């Protein structure tokens, strides 16, 4: 009897294996390769890109990447001179920005010309940024960190949060701003946002070789730094200080949010 029982057990086990075959683990998809061909810095004012990330932008440009700077305001209130006319200052600052961009090797500089000090994270402003993202299709977007504690300038906060909203999900998703289709602007998925001025950065870029270009670009903004006699020393001290955090001789620092998987 025991032999028959053993055979029956084996038969039932085989039937069960036939009915419920062992499942092999699903193959793990390799991570999507991420390459950087295009970079876009979206900033509030003329000179924001130079103070924050000019060394990094110049490095990307030297590597042959397409590099864009989008300036969101006209910078038409950035002066201590009460007699300066806003339209004159805006024109001056655009010329200064173009000079700075030339020093850095920027592919194109885009001026949105919103009023200085009057930016809010509105849907209309987001649409402006989505248009530039869809038009130029950057792999990396660099901008202000809006969540840094005590980020005091309202334009910086507004730009940072609106860039985040423009990148994800708005520029990516097809139904947002359908009129872009009529202009030939297709949805675009940005790979990474690099926030500068972050409280806890996690990425450091060695700007030892491009630091002179950073200074040359900053000096183009004469209306803002023309009276400074310690600009280079101050910027060098800061770059060295940041570099120590990343074990580099000189650096600019960013908090990276990865979006393309």
Q: For position 229, which CATH number holds? A: 3.40.50.10320
Does the model's pTM come out above 0.75?
yes
| pLDDT level of residue 83 (50, 70, 90 thresholds) | confident
How much of the chain exceeds pLDDT 90, in percent? 79
> Per the domain annotation, does 17 fall within a domain?
no
Residue 19 in domain: no
Say how many domains are in the chain. Answer: 1
The pLDDT score that the predictor gives to residue 44 is: 98
Alpha-carbon distance of 151 to 199, in angstroms, equals 10
Residue 33 placed within a domain: no
If you average pLDDT over each of 72-81, 98-107, 221-230, which comes out highest?
98-107
Give a yes or no: residue 112 inside a domain.
Answer: yes
Q: What angle do CA 244, 247, 248 make, to 5 degrees?
A: 85
Q: Confidence class of residue 85 from pLDDT cuts 50, 70 and 90?
A: confident
Q: Are 135 and 34 in contact (CB under 8 A)?
A: no
pLDDT score for 33:
75
Domain membership of residue 189 (yes or no) is: yes
Sheet holding 108-114, edge to edge: 108-114, 66-73, 38-43, 140-144, 192-196, 251-258, 203-206
pLDDT number for residue 32: 65
pLDDT band of 9, cuts 50, 70, 90: low
pLDDT in tens, 10-61: 655 555 555 555 555 555 656 567 899 999 999 999 999 999 999 999 999 9
Question: Looking at 7-16, 77-86, 100-109, 176-185, which range is the least confident one?
Answer: 7-16
Question: Is the pLDDT assigned to residue 248 strictly greater than 80?
Answer: yes
For residue 227, the enclosing domain spans: 38-258
Domain membership flag for residue 187: yes
Q: Does residue 12 form part of some domain? A: no
Selection from 19-28, 75-84, 248-257 with the highest mean pLDDT: 248-257
Task: Give one word for 247, left, alpha or beta, with left for phi > 0 and alpha for psi -120 to 50.
Answer: left
Determine contact, residues 39/66, Cβ cutoff 8 Å: yes
Does residue 24 lie in a domain region? Answer: no
């Amino acid at each position: 009897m025991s032999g028959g029982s053993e055979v029956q057990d084996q038969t039932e086990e085989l039937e069960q294996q036939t009915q419920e075959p062992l499942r092999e683990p699903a193959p793990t998809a390799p991570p999507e390769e991420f390459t950087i061909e295009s970079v876009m810095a979206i900033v509030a004012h003329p000179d924001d890109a130079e103070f924050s990330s000019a060394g990094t932008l110049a490095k990307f440009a030297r590597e042959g990447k397409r590099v864009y700077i989008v300036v969101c305001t006209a910078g038409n209130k950035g002066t201590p001179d009460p007699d300066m006319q806003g339209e004159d200052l805006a024109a001056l600052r655009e010329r200064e920005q173009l000079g700075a961009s030339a020093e850095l090797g920027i592919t194109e500089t885009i001026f949105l010309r919103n009023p200085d000090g009057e930016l809010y994270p509105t849907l209309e402003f987001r649409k402006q940024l989505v248009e530039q993202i869809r038009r130029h299709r950057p792999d990396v977007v660099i901008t202000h960190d809006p969540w840094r504690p005590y980020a005091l300038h309202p334009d910086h906060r507004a730009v940072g949060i609106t860039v985040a909203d423009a990148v994800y999900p708005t520029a990516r998703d097809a139904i947002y701003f359908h009129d872009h289709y009529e202009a030939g602007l297709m949805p675009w998925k940005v790979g990474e946002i690099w926030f500068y001025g972050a409280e806890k950065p996690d990425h450091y870029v060695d700007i030892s070789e491009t630091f002179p270009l950073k200074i040359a670009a900053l000096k183009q903004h004469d209306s803002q730094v023309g009276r400074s006699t310690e600009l280079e020393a101050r910027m060098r001290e800061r770059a060295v200080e940041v570099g120590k955090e990343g074990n580099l001789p000189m650096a600019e620092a960013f908090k990276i949010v990865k979006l393309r998987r």
